[in-house]
Structure 1
Amino acid sequence: MKSDVDELMPRLLPVEEYDVEDFDPSLPPRNPQEYLRQVQLEASMCPDVMVAQIDPKKLKKNQTVNISLSGCQPAPEGFSPSLKWQQLQVANFSDVRQNVNKHREHWKLQSLDNNVVMPNPEDEEGWLKFCLGEKVYFERLLSQDDNDNDNPGIDYVKMGFPPLLSIVSRLSQASVTIVLEYLMNWLGEKAFTSELGRWLYALLACLEKPLLPEAHSLIRQLARRCSEVRASLESKEDKRLSALNLLICLVARYFEQNDLADKE
């Protein structure tokens, strides 16, 4: 007599019949035949239809929200650069990128100073301190000790390491994207500083085309965030204006995100 398992579905692999007393499905299989027999038994105990229990209240809490991510915020009157200025910056930036690519291998082999310890890629706090310095990271003002004439050397731990070619040339494309994301997160919560601007420019110069999807999304976020900061400026004499315009220009004009570009 055929068992219920045999009647459930036709056999695709031959399984030898075992004596009821000899085959114990609760024990580990001793051979391939017993393994297949256990699979058949387990399949026979599965219900024909499974129904998922869904709590509608939980779905309401996780509704997808559509946010418009179309262009940058328009610049206040008189704050946007001319088209000629943008074209000049794109040409200069293209030269910088060519020089970086040309000399990348040379600078990668140069030894770093003993005080330059590059953080691990996953160390977000370490990279923020490395790029921006502890003074900016901890939002400390310069103290009298920082301007001590008896110690004219620059304390890069406090002031942040500049994006030297010997440093950025050591970054893989994955690391460039990661550090760019760290700085983007910082820019979304903190003030725009000259240290931050220098590193953002250097990382853009190290991005290879065609852009990876992660990098593409990040630079668009960068341009939008820069446009938000620019819109909050109170004067055209603000020292941050030129740097903000430059970053928006490079994302829009060089990396061809034309919908984000400043129009004359």
Structure 2
Amino acid sequence: MKSDVEELMPRLLPLESGDLDDLDFSEPPRNPQDYLRQVQREASLCPDVVVAQIDPKKLKKKQTVNASITGCQAAPAGFSPSLKWQLKQVSNFSEVRQRVHKHRQHWRSQTLDDNVVVPNSDDEEGWKIFCLGENVYLNSPPTLEETNAPGLDYVKTGFPPFLSIVSRLNQATISAVLEYLMTWFSERSFVPQLGRWMYALLACLEKPLLPEAHSLIRQLARRSSEVRATLVRDHHNVCSMCQLEEKMFL
């Protein structure tokens, strides 16, 4: 009867049975059979499972991620952020990421309200409506009745990126939603809902980043610089958000 190993990895070369202890490993093999028996002997001495000994301290020093921003347009006169502002935003963003990572398990366990129906990861249209709201996605401004109605209709205005929502998303879903929103942003103007979700999703990305995430961040930086290049001084809030998104992870 064949062994489990032979069932998974059948022998390709015939090997005569013999006592492996009779082999003299200090001498070179005298014939092909001796060579194969030596290989068999060495393989039998290898452990089934090998665990690499890795020093975590060495890995912590190599976690910095730099993404190229080739293709980004220069800021117009009066819109270039100061170095102090850039460092402050990067520091704030790093702190947010650490807090999200620390409390993710807690928020993931929280029960969502009945009106919060998170789309499937492959539902591109569903995610765009969920994040941006029907008013933005369908380009249908709110009616007077909707404006005067008490409370907020998140289906119309878009669900904010609550921690109880984004903490439930795995890395593949986060990358997918980023791609959906980036596709929308590449063809349309900036809206506050987009900025909130982009910031929240970027804060939930874990290192090391997937190649897809690197590409999306570059696209976001380039698109943000394009939008900033078309602004005038009365669009200060939009400019600040575009500059902020351009600096994330860079």
TM over 0.5: yes
Q: What letter is aligned with 1:143?
A: T
The aligned counterpart of 2:5 is: none
Please state how far the C-alpha of 1:234 moved relative to its aligned partner: 2.2
Partner secondary structure for residue 241 of structure 2: helix
Please state how far the C-alpha of 1:95 moved relative to its aligned partner: 0.8
Indicate conservation of the 8 Å contact 1:230/1:244, yes or no.
Answer: yes
Structure 1: distance between partners of 2:110 and 2:218: 33
Q: How does 1:15-164 map to 2 (within 5 A)?
A: 70-148=70-148, 151-164=149-162
Please state how far the C-alpha of 1:238 moved relative to its aligned partner: 3.4
Q: What letter is aligned with 2:106?
A: H
Please state how far the C-alpha of 1:115 moved relative to its aligned partner: 0.1
Partner secondary structure for residue 248 of structure 2: helix
The aligned counterpart of 1:172 is: 170
The aligned counterpart of 1:15 is: none
Say if 2:250 is the partner of 1:249: no
Q: What letter is aligned with 1:84?
A: K
Indicate conservation of the 8 Å contact 1:97/1:205, yes or no.
Answer: yes
Count matched residues. Answer: 182
The aligned counterpart of 2:191 is: 193
Please state how far the C-alpha of 1:239 moved relative to its aligned partner: 2.3
Change (3 A) 1:236 1:80: farther
Counterpart selection for 2:203 from 191, 205, 209: 205
Indicate conservation of the 8 Å contact 1:220/1:251, yes or no.
Answer: no
Please list the CA deviations of residues 92-113 of structure 1 after superposition, one character each: whole Å capped at 9, or x if unmatched: 1111011100000000000000
Structure 2: distance between partners of 1:136 and 1:195: 9
Structure 2 residue runs of 5 or longer lacking an equivalent are 1-68
Change (3 A) 1:236 1:79: farther
Partner secondary structure for residue 239 of structure 1: helix
Please state how far the C-alpha of 1:72 moved relative to its aligned partner: 0.6
The aligned counterpart of 2:221 is: 223
In the TM superposition, structure 1's runs of 4+ consecutive aligned residues that sit over 3 Å from their partners are: none
Structure 1: distance between partners of 2:172 and 2:106: 20
Structure 1: distance between partners of 2:203 and 2:233: 29
